[in-house]
Amino acid sequence: MKNRLQFAVAGIAVAALALSACSSADGEGDEGATGSGDGAKVAFIPKLTGVGFFEGGGAGAEAAGPDYGLDVQYLGSPEASVAKQVELINSYTQQGYEALIVSSVSPDGLCQSLETAMEQDAVVLTWDSDTNPECRQFYISQGTPDQLGSLLVEMVTENLPADEEAQVAFHYSSPTVTDQNQWAEVAKGIIADDTSWEIVDTIFSENQTELAVQQAEALINANPDLKAIIAPDANALPGTAQALENLGREDIILVGFSTPNVMKGYIENGTLDRFALWDVEQQGALSVAVAAHLLEGNELNVGDTFEAEGFGTLEVQPNSVQGYDYEADGNGIIVMPERTVFTAENIDDFDF
């Protein structure tokens, strides 16, 4: 655990200073924001609408569009399902959208539709949650599974020593969603190998706010000795925080991933001490920057570098950084440079 957790902590130390600067960067040194997209239509598709995390990503993407001469539209459904995303992708492909940027609800359920889009020369990217790598060109990643899984465990160890016997549980959206399961797998591996904790349950709330509260309350009531809940999901984390408040449980450690605007009240009243995320607006903006680069006719392969406004020089990483075996030309992963941990000391510095 030591090497993986030290790596995560090093990223936190930098990110605490850098994230807000990233949000306001003036693009010094950037040559990519040329505004030469000629109004090409880009669909920026979330897992579902109506959730602060995805709305933030959409806002960042739409705001970046004019910088590249692109017509970026945040287009989604309030229902997080394969059927709805397939319907959307097929519709936008038929309408002639030149790029699709998708946060996928399934690793393989969208593949046929996305492959059809690529056959029609659309740029196909994923953001936040990936598909199988052969189903897209590039994944705009918030962090590798090792980075984010280690970060989850490290946040717990701030309050619960690794050598203390304790019961812990996981709560996130779905047993099939790619990103959260990758993070949880890494975190569970660290817990099994390097702590004295026992994982007593993993629960899912399907991106539904009310269900997140209900599931968390049931988990807590069924496990009275529970010491920590790890919730790497933008709905599961506030839902679990609300469940702790409802039940008056101040003895359970809660960590996870969500947006500062959603979690600020829970930090201020002490329901949890810390949680983490990346700047999702910047993730949206970076996704659009990559789409613009490709729409201009540029090629990208593993090891290539390019300039993106507000991010400096970025390098295309192999799919193996996400644990995949698949590699191909014009295919890979672009990892956001920063993540941060929010606490009472810094949460007022962020607004997304």
- pTM (2 d.p.): 0.82
pLDDT-derived band at 191 (thresholds 50, 70, 90) equals very high
* Average pLDDT rounded to a whole number, residues 166-183: 96
pLDDT > 90 fraction of the chain, expressed in percent and rounded? 84
- Which residue bears the tokens 């309050």? 159
Written as one string, the DSSP assignment of 244-305 is HHHHT--SSEEEEB--HHHHHHHHHTTS-S-EEE--HHHHHHHHHHHHHHHHTT----TT-E
Q: What is the DSSP letter of 159?
A: T
Angstrom distance (rounded) from CA 149 to CA 146? 5
Q: Is the pLDDT of residue 10 over 70?
A: no
Task: Tally DSSP H helices, then E strands, for the chain.
Answer: 10, 14
Q: Which tokens hold the place of 10? A: 């090093």
Options 3.40.50.2300, 3.90.1640.10, 3.60.9.10, 2.60.40.420; CATH for 2-142+279-339 is 3.40.50.2300
pLDDT-derived band at 21 (thresholds 50, 70, 90) equals very low
CATH architecture group of domain 145-277: 3-Layer(aba) Sandwich (3.40)
Angstrom distance (rounded) from CA 135 to CA 47? 17
Q: Which tokens hold the place of 244? A: 């702790």
- Rounded to the nearest 5 percent, the helix, strand and coil shares of the chain are 45, 20, 35
Residue-range domain boundaries for the chain:
2-142+279-339, 145-277
Q: Is the pLDDT of residue 99 over 90?
A: yes
Count Cα atoms within 13 angstroms, Cβ side, for 237.
30
Specify the 3-state DSSP secondary structure of 148: helix
Neighbours of 35 (CB within 10 A): 11
Per-residue model confidence as pLDDT tens digits over 135-154: 999 999 999 999 999 999 99
